[in-house]
Every structure is written in structure tokens, then in C-alpha cells.
Amino acid sequence: MKWGYIAGIAASVVLMTLLEWPRLRQAKLRAAYLLLAISGFTLSVLLLAFPEMPGPTAWIEAVFRPVGRLLE
């Protein structure tokens, strides 16, 4: 059942890439798009496979909480 969801996520990423790729003329923009698309795909598949895993908000909070304490 999860394979269907993964196939849907992959199809969405491929469709978005096919639609956006011709508009991205610079190599830096293409690299940034690929990095974000691959990161988003990986995160969505991981959250699908491991639903109890903390999301990106929890990760950011864990990283920046000590920095926030230093700034106070």
C-alpha cells in the first residue's frame, strides 16, 4: 500500500521537474531546484515509512534552541 503513495510522490516530483526545468536557465538555479526536490522527496518518503519520526520543525528547533539560549 505504501508503494502506491511512494509512486504518487515520485510522479509529483517528476511532473514538477518537467514543468519547471525549461524555465530554469542558470546552472545555480537548476542545482538549487534539484537539491530542494530531492530533499523534499527523501523527507516525504521517510515520513511515510516512519510516521513516528519527528518532522523538520522538531529538527530545526533542536538545532537552534541552544543558539537562542545564548542570544538571550
Interval 5-62: pLDDT, tens: 999 999 999 999 999 999 999 999 999 999 999 999 998 998 898 988 887 788 888 8
Whether the predicted pLDDT of 2 surpasses 90: no
Q: With a threshold of 0.75, does the pTM exceed it?
A: no
Count of Cβ atoms closer than 10 Å to residue 43 Cβ? 14
At 68, the pLDDT band (50, 70, 90 cuts) reads confident
Backbone torsion region of residue 9, taken as left when φ is above 0, otherwise alpha when ψ lies between -120 and 50, otherwise beta: alpha
Cα separation, 14 vs 8, whole angstroms = 10
String of b and e for 57-72 (b: at least 16 CB within 10 Å)?
eeeeeeeeeeeeeeee
Q: To which residue does cell 523538520 refer?
A: 56
**What are the residue ranges spanned by the domains of the chain?**
2-71
